[in-house]
Amino acid sequence: MNNQDQYFRKLQRDGIYHYAHLMANGTPPVCEVINSLNADPVIEHREYDLSKPGDRIDLKAFSEDWDPISVVEYKKAFGEATSGDFKVYIDGKSQV
């Protein structure tokens, strides 16, 4: 597995992208996704428990479905998403 954090984007519609920051070597590994399809952007964190069968990071899906980007592009998207109101979900649960 890659030692470095990896950054991706995926076109959703009308020039709106999802952005992902994959921290595969963390304990636990985490994928942070910026979803800007709603009026208030959503920052989603998913932690992976690699000891569970089926809870794995599908790097092939990222490489096939997402375009790699630079950390600079990701940080710009994160800054824009968090510059106003936004929501945070961790493992599917809203953080209020």
Question: Per the structure block, which two tokens stand in for 41?
Answer: 């952007």
What's the whole-model pTM score? 0.81
The per-residue pLDDT for range 40-84, each reduced to its tens digit, is 999 999 887 666 666 556 566 666 788 999 999 999 999 999 999
d(CA 15, CA 59): 24
Q: Token match 């992976």: residue?
A: 48
d(CA 7, CA 9): 7
pLDDT at 67: 92
Question: Per the structure block, which two tokens stand in for 33?
Answer: 């996704």
Residue 28 pLDDT level (bands cut at 50, 70, 90): confident
